[in-house]
Amino acid sequence: MPRMLIRFHVCDGSPVLIEERHGVIRPTAFGRWLLERAASILLDWPAVAFHQVEVTRAALELVIITGGSPEQRNAGRVAARAVARELSLAATRRGWVGGELWQSVRIFPARAPRPMLAVSSEPE
């Protein structure tokens, strides 16, 4: 199934998304809120399967799975715009940001993940 990587770059001056403490990198409260909110929006979205969400120093990244038809791929783009809009409005209402949240939203084709475990039917 086709996958789309959606990269939401936050504006300069937005709250920090990840932090490092004692050698461990993890999301800040704002980064965790973005992760959870984006996932909850996508879980209810028709024609789009949520696959992965991650925060980096400068962006929220989502991987979604769509069907192969143009209409299904378009549903992924519509979902991306809705997530951007909903997160921006919610972040403003909660006081996380005072202006724009996103500097840019870009969509890329995403590769299928490599298997974590290889299984063989041949005896050793």
- pLDDT tens track for 8-63: 999 998 999 999 999 999 999 999 999 999 999 988 888 888 888 899 999 999 99
Q: 85, 89, 67, 84: which is closest to 76 by C-alpha?
A: 67
Window from 39-43, 86-90, 103-107, 116-120 with minimum mean pLDDT:
116-120
More confident residue, 25 or 111: 25
Angle, CA of 77, 101 and 46, to the nearest 5°: 30
- pLDDT of res. 67: 82
Q: What is the pLDDT of residue 113?
A: 62
Task: Please give the model's pTM, rounded to 2 decimal places.
Answer: 0.83
The residues pairing with 62 across neighbouring beta strands, listed in sequence order, are 6, 53
